[in-house]
Amino acid sequence: MQSSSLSIGLKYDHHSQFLSRLKRLQYVDFSRNAFKDQFRSSTFKSQLDSMQSLILEGNLLTSIPLDLEEFNRLSFLNIKNNKITYLTNKEELTPLK
């Protein structure tokens, strides 16, 4: 699912219900959706034990919008072609499991 204006749905998802029933979700491609750091820490709370691949390429992110250490199985993260200019100490990537 690409270029589908998902940023609107996630922006107004104040109760983190958008993905809550997809507990076994392993692969998400949110590329080219004009995301601007709209993720909340609870956006993927139901996928912390299942998410293996997260693609956020081609958005408008200025930082990594998630605490990556919370993901237990994440092995691939694509943040190419965003507006990220530097990583803070918190965002510095460590080798994924």
Q: Domains of the chain: which residue ranges?
A: 1-97
* The overall pTM is greater than 0.85: no
Give residue 6's pLDDT band: very low, low, confident or very high (50, 70, 90): low
* 66 neighbors 43 (Cβ within 8 angstroms): yes
pLDDT 10s digits, 22-71 = 889 899 898 998 888 767 767 888 899 999 999 999 999 988 878 888 89
Whole-angstrom Cα distance, residue 94 to residue 97? 9
3-state class (DSSP) for residue 83: coil
Superfamily name with CATH number, domain 1-97? Ribonuclease Inhibitor (3.80.10.10)
Q: Please list the residues that pair with 33 across neighbouring strands.
A: none
